[in-house]
Amino acid sequence: MSHNTFGHLFRVTTFGESHGVALGCVVDGCPPGIPIDAADIQAELDRRKPGQSRFTTQRREADEVRILSGVFADDRTGGVQLTTGTPIALEIANTDQRSKDYSEIRDSYRPGHADYAYDAKYGFRDYRGGGRSSARETAARVAAGAIARRVLPGEIIIQAALVQMGPHAIDRARWDWDEVARNPFFCPDATAAAFYEGYLDGIRKDGSSVGAVIEVVAEGVPPGLGAPIYGKLDADLAAAMMSINAVKGVEIGDGFASAALRGEDNADEMRSGNGGGPTFLANHAGGVLGGISTGQPIVCRFAVKPTSSILTPRMSVTRDNRDVDLVTKGRHDPCVGIRAVPVAEAMMACVLADHYLRHRGQVGKPG
């Protein structure tokens, strides 16, 4: 990962600020011949789009994606638009910018936001909506992820869900992937989702915010993806998820809970499988051993902190170092973790696509 690029063979470079002209990405290294059109990408962007329920920011953005390059259709492709193997540039114009909402914080640092850090680094900043530090950047990731999904073999299924809101975890016994599409929280537990409605309404009315935990699972991943030692699949996933706005922790499989286990309980036992590879009797490892996929589901979780854009006044300072009490007005998410769910899927897809191609490069087709 360099400043604004991640991936080695499937490389994603993103650009854009919250209130600039446009944001977008360039996806380089995509294999040729993959069918993709703007509607495919749009469908995934629409899942992340703000303003779809009262539980996300009311900023209205069409988030309409344009493909600028890297695809081609003619009668030889049957009229289907295919990737050509050259860089795919995607652009999403900013339309609902309302810069004036932010004018009052141009001189102060919002606590818990990147304002001070950007100023300390660069000497000044585009304060409109957080500029480059805005979670709006994640739209570009979702767009790239839509391509990455299509690079991967069809048997790989990537799904994410919200598994905790504030202190309230779901009951994993009630996990139902179908439920995720039925509630505004991407929650796989219908009972928890029903509870979250009232809970988050309360938070929202308080002008407050809460954190969340997101889990993303990739099923059907062949064994062998990942590369020791600094290209470990879990190390790349950790970086990918930690790079999402407001994420403060990442774990694979049992994660932090594994610290409390004994070796007998943690080691996933195996029995002979009928496909040649072993059948695992547990998945404490979350599908990754030694940084390499084992063929089990890859399970990754991350914690999202509550946004600091709240209505309760907070102590802060101005750019010229005077004390100030600050209220962050504007349109915000009471639980930014919700919209991180499609972003999590996108990042998983991008990391897997990259490792799929890297493995094919070094070793040949995995499987």
**Interface positions, 249-288, toward a copy of itself (CB under 8 A):** 249-264, 266-273, 276-278, 281, 284-286, 288
Interface with a copy of itself, residue 156, by CB under 8 A: no
β-sheet bridge partners, residue 28: 11
Binding mask 41-70 for a copy of itself (x = CB under 8 A): -------------------------xxxxx
Burial class from Cβ neighbours inside 10 Å (0-12, 13-18, 19+) for residue 108 reads buried
Among residues 101, 231, 283, 327, the one that binds a copy of itself under rule CB under 8 A: 231
| Token representation of residue 274 | 């009928």
β-sheet bridge partners, residue 98: none
Nearer to a copy of itself, 231 or 330 (CB): 231
Residue 288 and residue 298: Cα distance in Å, rounded? 7
Binding window for a copy of itself (CB under 8 A); candidates: 50-58, 153-161, 181-189, 229-237: 229-237
Residue 364 and residue 2: Cα distance in Å, rounded? 27
User: Given the structure tokens 């897809």, which residue do they identify?
Assistant: 349
Among residues 295, 338, 343, 348, the one that binds a copy of itself under rule CB under 8 A: 295
Binding mask 111-140 for a copy of itself (x = CB under 8 A): xxxx-xxx-xxxxxxx----xxx---x---
Side chain identity, residue 2: S
Query: Do the Cβ atoms of 69 and 100 come closer than 8 Å?
Result: no
Interface with a copy of itself, residue 9, by CB under 8 A: yes
Q: How far is the CB of 182 from a copy of itself (least distance, A)?
A: 23
Q: How far is the CB of 229 from a copy of itself (least distance, A)?
A: 6
Residue 153 and residue 158: Cα distance in Å, rounded? 11
Among residues 59, 149, 150, 359, the one that binds a copy of itself under rule CB under 8 A: 359
Among residues 197, 223, 327, 331, the one that binds a copy of itself under rule CB under 8 A: 223
Looking only at the bridges linking them, the beta strands covering 71-72 and 5-6 are unpaired
Query: Do the Cβ atoms of 287 and 241 come closer than 8 Å?
Result: no
Residue 343 and residue 82: Cα distance in Å, rounded? 24
Side chain identity, residue 277: G
Binding window for a copy of itself (CB under 8 A); candidates: 55-63, 174-182, 190-198, 312-320: 312-320
Residues 314-353, interacting with a copy of itself (CB under 8 A): 314-317, 321-323, 337
Interface with a copy of itself, residue 31, by CB under 8 A: yes
